[in-house]
Structure 1
Amino acid sequence: MSEALVLAETDAGIRTLTLNQPTLRNPISDLPTVDAVVDALHAADQDPEVRVVILTGAGSAFSTGGNLKAMHEGRGPQGATPSETVSNYRRGIQRIPLAFAAIDVPVVAAVNGPAIGAGCDLACMCDVRIAGRSARFAESFVKLGIVPGDGGAWLLRRIVGESKAMELSLTGEIIDAEEAWRLGLVSKVVDDAELMAAARSVAAAIAANPPVAVRLTKRLIRQAQTADLPSLLDASASAQAIAHETQDHAEAITAFIEKRAPVFTGR
């Protein structure tokens, strides 16, 4: 029996998902891997015991994106005709950013090495990014004579701004973890040996909060990427109406008044 393409382990409300093709440096373009990633994200989102997800890669790379060997052998997303290629992208790798957009559970990327091409975009799909010092990032599609077919043109500019996104995308240059931090692409850089502990620390801080409020807050921030202020205020009022009715909200107020640590149940 072949080993799982995505490993899943849950502890204290934190589910760690590990891309598990280390010998290939964790490509995500093949259809079985797409299925595994999408299924793992949906499973985490639907599990009430999961309060936050950590995404990382097995071995020395986070993800080097496309499987170039498969592309070279004619097993990549390119079809016999342009229309077939479009279909392959839609039913293939483009399902991953859509899956990230659909889930409410927060995702922390622990970038443990190169995040190249679609791997860089995968990191951008996550809500928080922590990098080990060996991490490298590149929006490198242009180097292969192709474009970011997985939503990278939408994702990257929202994180680093249009000018820098243009520069990174049009040059395909590789940047190190410190430069990624200076650009705001990652929120923290730590020694490689401390990466998972740092990611778990952030995840634990998220998991300690009321799960419904956490998921609603994430949804509002995502909606704010495309909404105008009046629309976002309407969405905020609706989310707040839900939050006010939760037992966790009442518990938070009571615990504050009683000067004790709250106990949140996700209800």
Structure 2
Amino acid sequence: MPLVTTGELVARAHAEGCGVAAFNVITLEHAEAIALGAERAQAPAILQISQNAVAFHGGRLGPIAAATAAVARASSAPLALHLDHVTDPELLRAAHPEGFSSVMVDASKLPYAENVKATADAVRWGHERGLWIEAELGEVGGKSGEPPLDAHAPGARTDPAEAAAYVADTGVDALAVAVGSSHAMTTRTASLDHDLIHALRAAVPVPLVLHGSSGVPDTDLRTAVAGGVVKVNVGTALNSAYTSAVRTALAEAPGVDPRPYLTRARQAMTTTVTHYLSLLGPC
């Protein structure tokens, strides 16, 4: 079916009080697993390609974007294409021509005033071209090989009053918030601050986004969505499933043909996608 937009999937989830999952694509097998998992769960999903994934593909957005979009269009599930954690202005400008309906502009490492200015400029540029823009305030941490962040350290979490001012000053369509999760967690031991999620939901008029969801237990994710989180980003959980399946397959039957172990990897990721989509509830 034709691609849907991230904006419409998030708006629908926001209105209905459920969550929509956004899964990171690195290889073609990731995209295929997300599409198949969404079909099995009979749920919408967002396929997102990060700036790091683009760098992995030689800095070329076009090929991986075209392949991911083709997989999404061939699926019977409602799927959207999102560009994630963009810090490079050139990559932002490449999003619309490649079929992305949304971009997460990441200026979170800049001082607050610079973050506001950079994000507001990106929002103006993106909205002129029909792009839905997500941004981040706070420190989720764990990205790009950086050391794990204490998600509950002073100053790490998103302040509700500052978040309200940030959204008003930038015009973003959604806000990624730091509430206790961290990127690249391989254990599901993150402890979310649900009181903070409720306070942010009350303070901020746009949908909230949770990054680092792979490290969050199922019960906490359900509670977070009930408390106001709408877009739930999942990346490491797919990579863990992929890598574990490849290791097991090669241990059982070493060989040079990648298809048997990549098939197992794709199947494992599909199961993971279906689990998360079922967890977040029908929408």
One fold, TM greater than 0.5? no
TM-score of the aligned structures, taking structure 1 as reference length: 0.30
- Which structure would you say has the larger Rg? 1
